[in-house]
Amino acid sequence: MKNLGLHEIRKEFLSFFEKKGHYVLPSFSLIPKNDKSLLLIGAGMAPMKKFFTGEATPPAKRVTTCQKCLRTGDIENVGKTDRHATFFEMLGNFSFGDYFKKEAIPWAWEFLTVNLEIPKEDLWVTVYFEDDEAYNIWKDEIGVPEEKIIRLGKEDNFWELEVGPSGPCTEIYVDRGLEYGSEDERPGGEGDRFIEVWNLVFTQFDKDEKGVYNPLAHPNIDTGMGLERISTVLQHANNIFEIDAIKEILEEIKNMSGYKYGLDKKLDESARVITDHIRAITFLVGDTVRPSNEGRGYVLRRLIRRAARHGRLLGLKKAFLYELCDLIIDSWGVEYKELIENREKIKDVIKGEEDKFLTTIESGMNILSGLIEKLEADNKKVLGGEDVFKLYDTYGFPPDLTREILWEKGLEIDQKGFEEKMDEQRERARNARDDSNIGWDSHADESVFEGYTNEFLGYDHNSCQGEITGIFKNYKEVESAEPGEKVMVLLDKTPFYGEGGGQVGDTGYIIGSDFKLRVFDTKKTREGLHLHLVEVLEGCLQKEKVGAEIDVERRNNIRRNHSVTHLLHKALKETLGSHVNQAGSLVEADRMRFDFTHYEAISKEDLKKIEARVNEKIFEDLPVVTTITNPQKAGEMGAIGLFEEKYGDLVRVLSMGDYSMELCGGTHVSNTAQISMFKILSESGVSSGVRRIESITGLAVYKYLLKADSLRDDLSRELKVNKSDILQKTKANIEEIKKLHKEIDKLEHDSAKDEVSKVLENIKTKGDINYVSYKFIDKDVNTLRDMADEIRSKISKIVILFAGIIDGKINFVCALSKDLVKNPYEAGKIIKDIAKIAGGSGGGRPDMATAGGKILEKVDDALNSLSDFI
Ligand code: SER
């Protein structure tokens, strides 16, 4: 048996089936698309139901995937057993009316025995009891001994969901040997000796809601091999928590909490619960699910709070779940790019939810413990609905969490009573809702829009006739709205582009028989519906046929700014290298912002080259052509873009001449000349390895030119030269100013020198003491100090007194050479007395002091009085 890691097995599987002519589709989102029968994707085939039934065309007749799956049906067993998990990955190969049993069975055998090197002797199979065809292929073509082919009934070997494609199946088991079970154990039984690794379903029926099996037009193949299951086998792991990549999560939890695994069964269980749940949580948030009280949001909330509670049991006090995310994102990011792209968002959402829960968990747990004690004391088994509701409403305990905690004690909750309390609360919330707020929220629970569809005509039309099919206020359906109210509206057909792919939403008007709506923004729901945010201007909004028209001028500017991102993307790749990739954008009417991967600032020359190249392509008048095709063809054509977001569907490939080809859902000009002109305004760094260019097009460039021109006019007037001479004149002015500054410096230096020599000439002596007093005009106190410093450095045993008159005030400075200090002179004392004469005061150090003065006429008297001190 080959010892391969989890990520290696996935790779090996996909490339095996790719070589057998399969198209490798990236995993679909965990959120089912247009399928009301499922809350979350729980099987590899689930997102492809419509390909089996023929309602949709698959991108290829042979497809292989590794599908992220989530099942919460057995959540209570997670951590307790070796096998139960919520999140798992399902490897599968699919045939939509192409190959059938004769190919599917040998390929599965080949992959297991050749690629994974599982010994043939260890493999057993089961078949549907009536399926002789499968039986014979195993026996005659593969050569499996008859005693190792077991016929089983519908319970074991017929695969189906509640509704949808289904059929008989054959399963492959690995015999783990007698150390795991007895001699007479057989596949399909209870024990641990045989582990089922692969299920090959021969999809022949479409089961409807009534349970009727309708035959499909052609037979199909749907196989599923749990990636964790096969990893356990290859890695000789005893349970899923010993699988290489998963074990790393468990290790990290051990490090964080510092507890020792394997000593306490309860604590081990907590660590396993967290190890399992954190993958589910990270993937759910990565697929845009947000914690809420309904549907998928509730599943997420329950998983986060359940994991958080087990973290507390391990002694973790602070929010810790978000800290595990990086490990998962770095590891599983090899396959699931959406994790890497949403890294910060994922951590934010999880931290937010855990923090919220942690603020109340302590008090909630105390209350719950109290309630349990009381139940036990009263010999009762059921916790009342009101208590369950209070724990939920006030302390954030999802009812399922409360139920689980009670189960551990053999108690139950009153589910019906709880639901009654919930209904009452919903009613209260409905009544208290604020009418003025439109309440759009990209994370909101959008189940209210389920079942609606719409057609977007805005690629080719600026206006159209349509019908209002839904009116919503705060995510609740309403029948009408009055003038002044802001609501959300769905149309069956619309020209309004909903914000997406970096492009802002359209604005405009919707007009009914007697009402008028202003569309102030258009958003896209997570399912892709164009949702109009409107204000009722006049009349009473009703569901009826309407005319809808976007603000065309605004949209044309948006078109220019969007199309130019494609030209820029290509020009950046050409100039800087193929490592450049779009990392986000914002396309508005008056400008656009384009983020891309690049490791350093772009040089001026390169930036000019890029700008020139884009303009060249604008002037070449290149036709902009949209081709609608499947992702596979798009890839073959050489289109660049985010393929993983569009899987399964048809994609729009936008080409501009033969210069650029990208996947894009945005709205565009029909030839590049309509962009008119492109001007880069700035280039800057956003984060490490990501740069940003901001730019304008069309009329905005013209306005930019006008502004530049008027600035030149102003300059030419101020500088009194022709516009063409502004630069020369400015350079000359700068040179002139430099020269003048030099001259000023020299003059100042000379004058200071002069002053010092004048002072020196005035030195008098008494005994062996030198002294000098001197008056300056327009010199500040610092200059006086500097001059005093220079003089006392030249002359010893000197007392200096300066007065400076500046701005009608007097500054005195007194300085002593060091050899005089306290002998018996002190500058501070001298200046105090002298300043008094001119109506001032001051002080300072013994060798240097300053003072102010007010009476200008007394300055000379003050200066003259120095000799009295000597
Ligand atoms: N649908 C089958 C399963 O989930 C095979 O892919 O087991």
Which atom from ligand 1 is nearest to the alpha carbon of 201? 5
Residue nearest to atom 3 of ligand 1 (CA): 224
Which atom from ligand 1 is nearest to the alpha carbon of 200? 5
Cα(116) to centroid(ligand 1), Å: 20
Q: Is residue 384 scored above 90 in pLDDT?
A: yes
- Judge contact between 759 and 790, C-beta under 8 A: no
Q: Is residue 782 scored above 70 in pLDDT?
A: yes
- Judge contact between 354 and 275, C-beta under 8 A: no
Residue 113 DSSP class: I
Cα(821) to centroid(ligand 1), Å: 101
Percent of the chain clearing pLDDT 90 (strictly above)? 69
| 128 vs 170: CA distance, rounded Å | 6
Cα(214) to centroid(ligand 1), Å: 19
Cα(193) to centroid(ligand 1), Å: 22
Cα(101) to centroid(ligand 1), Å: 15
Residue nearest to atom 6 of ligand 1 (CA): 224
pLDDT of 870 reads 82
Q: Which of 501-505, 510-514, 840-844 has the lowest mean pLDDT?
A: 840-844
Cis peptide before 398 (omega within 30 of 0): no
Q: Is residue 579 scored above 70 in pLDDT?
A: yes
Name which residue leads in pLDDT, 844 or 660.
Answer: 660
What is the average per-residue pLDDT within 593-619?
95
**pLDDT per residue over 72-96, tens digit each?**
888 888 988 888 899 999 999 999 9
pLDDT of 468 reads 96
**pLDDT per residue over 240-287, tens digit each?**
999 999 999 999 999 999 988 888 888 999 999 999 999 999 999 999
Percent of the chain clearing pLDDT 70 (strictly above)? 97
pLDDT of 645 reads 46
Instruction: Tell if the pTM clears 0.75, that is, is over it.
Output: no
Query: Quick one: tokens of 545?
Result: 């046929």
Cα(238) to centroid(ligand 1), Å: 23
Cα(198) to centroid(ligand 1), Å: 8
Cα(41) to centroid(ligand 1), Å: 12
pLDDT of 603 reads 95
| 32 vs 445: CA distance, rounded Å | 15
Cα(777) to centroid(ligand 1), Å: 99
Mutate which of 157, 158, 201, 205 for ligand 1 pocket (most atoms within 8 A of beta carbon): 201
- Residues 6 or more apart whose CB falls under 8 angstroms from that of 744 comprise none
Q: Is residue 464 scored above 50 in pLDDT?
A: yes
| 710 vs 138: CA distance, rounded Å | 85
pLDDT of 438 reads 64
Domains and CATH numbers, the chain: 6-239 (3.30.930.10), 244-347 (no CATH), 447-550 (2.40.30.130), 555-705 (3.30.980.10), 762-869 (3.10.310.40)
Q: Which of 495, 706, 693 is nearest to 591 (CA)?
A: 693
Which amino acid, residue 369? S
What are the angstrom distances between the C-alpha of 574 and each of 568, 577, 614, 660?
A: 10, 6, 11, 11
Which atom from ligand 1 is nearest to the alpha carbon of 92? 6
Residue nearest to atom 7 of ligand 1 (CA): 224
| 318 vs 328: CA distance, rounded Å | 20
Confidence grade of residue 436 (pLDDT, cut at 50, 70, 90): very low
Q: Is residue 690 scored above 90 in pLDDT?
A: no
Average pLDDT over the chain, rounded to an integer: 91
- Residues 6 or more apart whose CB falls under 8 angstroms from that of 349 comprise 285, 290, 291
Name which residue leads in pLDDT, 220 or 539.
Answer: 220
Cα(234) to centroid(ligand 1), Å: 20
Mutate which of 222, 225, 227 for ligand 1 pocket (most atoms within 8 A of beta carbon): 222
Residue nearest to atom 2 of ligand 1 (CA): 224
pLDDT of 644 reads 45
Q: What is the 3-state secondary structure (H, E, C) of 302-317?
A: HHHHHHHHHHHHCCCC
| 336 vs 330: CA distance, rounded Å | 10
pLDDT of 431 reads 56
Q: Report the first-to-last Cα separation within the chain, whole angstroms.
A: 108
Which atom from ligand 1 is nearest to the alpha carbon of 224? 6
Pocket of ligand 1 (CB under 6 A): 43-45, 92, 159, 199, 201, 222-224
Residue nearest to atom 4 of ligand 1 (CA): 43
pLDDT of 586 reads 94
**pLDDT per residue over 518-549, tens digit each?**
999 999 998 889 999 999 998 889 999 999 99
pLDDT of 429 reads 58
| 201 vs 134: CA distance, rounded Å | 11
Q: Is residue 749 scored above 80 in pLDDT?
A: no
Mutate which of 13, 17, 40, 45 for ligand 1 pocket (most atoms within 8 A of beta carbon): 45
Q: Is residue 189 scored above 90 in pLDDT?
A: no
What is the average per-residue pLDDT within 859-867?
92
Cα(167) to centroid(ligand 1), Å: 10
